[in-house]
A = this chain, B = another copy of it.
Amino acid sequence: MTHRPIRLGMVGGGTGAMIGNVHRIAARIDGEYDLVAGALSSTPEKSAQSAAQVGIAPDRSYTDFEQMAQAEAARDDGIEAVTICTPNHLHYPAAKAFLNAGIHVICDKPMTASLQQARDLADVAANSKSLFILTHNYSAYPQLRLARELVAAGHLGAVRLVQVEYAQDWLAKPTQTKQAQWRTDPARAGAGGAIGDIGTHAFQIARFVSGECPQKLACDLTSFVPGRRVDDNAQIMLRYASGAKGSLWCSQVAAGAENGLKLRIYGENAGLEWSHHDPETLWFTRLDEPAQRLRRNGPGTSASVAQTSRTPAGHPEGYLEGFGTLYSEAAAAIRAANAGAPVETLLPGIRDGLEGLLFIDACVRSNAADSAWVEVAP
């Protein structure tokens, strides 16, 4: 930290929202950012109140993100980057506004509320010098980074199977919390319920670790809770161009599941298993050898992965640290971009976001076709 913190703005994430606080902690944990501007809520009063609570000066608390993008771009001390953590339907217009204003964007997933928006945003980003970073935070967990390296280095041989799941129970009952409301409203969430909110995370880590994007999928969507207008459960089968197969299950009605993201990858010669319940452990088993318990920052890690740890093995790190790593790597990328240097990063971006919307779109199409196989095609 021999450099000054990056000036950061935030759109969405008012003080009642769980994810807003997560973003702020993630931005603070390594001291790489100063949060100096925001359009935190949709109403002027809430926005001002939230701004005061998080230490944003009144004159830099906005109610309109378009206005914020213009105003901040015009200031000498304007924000260099913005976090977008609104409901899904605002991701696209907000991201577009800031990218066009020359401000780097750190955006929540799914990237947009529709596939068309995703394609459009990809064009916007391609024509902007600013970076677009998507907060698929799980891919910043050290043991998933290590898993990716083991696959890439060939330790599994050809990948045969990718089994990924993400189970929660917080929407098992009809619920009226603010966070539940927009996530179950197609106008704000987009076409996907569980598949958009958590399915895209599962899809992304499977793709990140395996190195492969499925070619086809067959999907059965369900809305278990009476009156629910989006899916709250999805059974999905996957086929890869390489011949690998897989399955993805995501659910928000799995009574007893907390935040159960789990990935298993099996190759010709070895298998990997990782669970968010114990995120510091990566199980690695070569055929005919004992399973190895690879621990964060412990024996068997790599130099590159060790950089994502803040403490020795045995000092549990987790969700906030992973999110923080994403933010700190974003800071490094932003500094490189600002300096005109090449940006080399593992961070998820436009491609991941587009793939996520392709995934959602393919799920919806397959489900409409009675679970027929459909292409997950660009």
How far apart are the CA atoms of A1 and B52 in the complex, in Å?
8
Within 8 A of B (CB), among A235-293: 235, 237-239, 245-247, 249, 251, 253-260, 264, 266-273, 276-279, 283-293
* A172 CB–B CB distance under 8 Å: yes
Contact residue among B271, B277, B279, B370 (Cβ-Cβ distance under 8 Å from A255): B271
Contact B245 A233 (CB under 8 A): yes
Residues of B close to A220: CB separation below 8 A: 218, 237, 239, 245
Residues of B close to A267: CB separation below 8 A: 255
Residues of B close to A372: CB separation below 8 A: 370-372
Contact B257 A271 (CB under 8 A): yes
Contact B287 A290 (CB under 8 A): no
Within 8 A of B (CB), among A216-245: 218, 220, 222, 224, 233, 235, 237-239, 245
Residues of B close to A277: CB separation below 8 A: 314, 316
Report the contact-size class of chain A (Cβ under 8 Å from the partner).
Answer: 35 or more
CB-CB nearest in chain B for A218: B371
Contact B371 A271 (CB under 8 A): no
Contact A310 B300 (CB under 8 A): no
* A306 CB–B CB distance under 8 Å: no
Contact A299 B295 (CB under 8 A): no
* A204 CB–B CB distance under 8 Å: no
How far apart are the CA atoms of A321 and B170 in the complex, in Å?
23
* A149 CB–B CB distance under 8 Å: no
Segment at the B interface, from A21-29, A57-65, A71-79, A111-119: A21-29
How far apart are the CA atoms of A319 and B297 in the complex, in Å?
14
